[in-house]
Chains A and B, each alone.
Chain A
Amino acid sequence: AQKITQTQPGMFVQEKEAVTLDCTYDTSDQSYGLFWYKQPSSGEMIFLIYQGSYDEQNATEGRYSLNFQKARKSANLVISASQLGDSAMYFCAMREGNFGNEKLTFGTGTRLTIIP
């Protein structure tokens, strides 16, 4: 089974609208972390937001928020008031377990295109 599933290969959204990018995960660990990264066409990976499995509140960073539903094992990224510069690939990733297991497992990504 895929550890990280992103079911939306591509999305088109009108500028200034909000957009939700889906991410579901699969783990048997109680302690884990969920990350979202943005990859523009230039190729660099930009860290956006983090949610820990024990965090009781949804993470927020500026226009980014993470809709964390632990029982459903979903960690959707919400971008409010989208901008043209938000056009990029977006990857959801998970780090499982306790100290010593540091690798990230990535989903296949969602290509977001903002339409002016």
Chain B
Amino acid sequence: GAGVSQSPSNKVTEKGKDVELRCDPISGHTALYWYRQRLGQGLEFLIYFQGNSAPDKSGLPSDRFSAERTGESVSTLTIQRTQQEDSAVYLCASSLPRDRGPTNQPQHFGDGTRLSIL
């Protein structure tokens, strides 16, 4: 079946430009997550969506970062006025919510968007 799909796979842009990254979760997965992975490091949580609940934005590093989700489908992560430190791989994941399945619901990840800020 189709997994989590992210686009673009690579994005190169100039410092100061805005970028928009897209994530299509697995069908039926109501939970959606964004993470950032800097070179050689682990994943940093950015934001979490669950159905119609208010998103958990506790991981967004600054007000230049925002994300939206339309219902239980596509999500977009927007970075405004990009800086060189924003260069990273941005990973999206989706899962079934824990209250609708076993507690060991793993998050299923897309292949990521590699963002390079010149």
Identify the stretch in A13-21, A45-53, A68-76, A79-87 within 8 Å (CB) of chain B at 4 or more residues: A45-53
B103 at the binding interface (Cβ < 8 Å): yes
Give the CA-CA distance A18 to B20 in the complex, in Å.
43
Which residues of A sit under 8 angstroms from B66, Cβ to Cβ? none
Q: Mark B97-109, 1 if CB is under 8 A from A, else 0.
A: 1110001101111
Q: Which segment of B11-19, B40-48, B67-75, B76-84 sits at the interface?
A: B40-48
Contacts of A104 in B (CB 8 A): 33, 35, 43, 45, 107
> What separation, in Å, do the CA atoms of A61 and B45 have in the docked complex?
26
Closest to A48 in B: B106
Asked whether B112 is an interface residue with its Cβ less than 8 Å from the other chain, the reply is yes
**Shortest Cβ distance from residue B87 to the other chain A in the assembled complex, whole angstroms:** 15
The reply to whether A99 and B99 contact each other, CB–CB distance below 8 Å, is yes
Cα distance, A104 to B35, chains bound together (Å)? 9
Q: Within 8 Å CB of B48, what residues of A? A: 102-103
Whether the pair B109, A44 counts as a contact (CB closer than 8 A) is yes
- Complex Cα distance A7/B43, Å? 16
Interface centre among B97, B98, B104, B109 (most CB of A within 10 A): B104
- Chain A residues within 8 Å of B, Cβ to Cβ: 4, 33, 35, 37, 42-45, 47, 50, 52, 91, 93, 99, 101-109
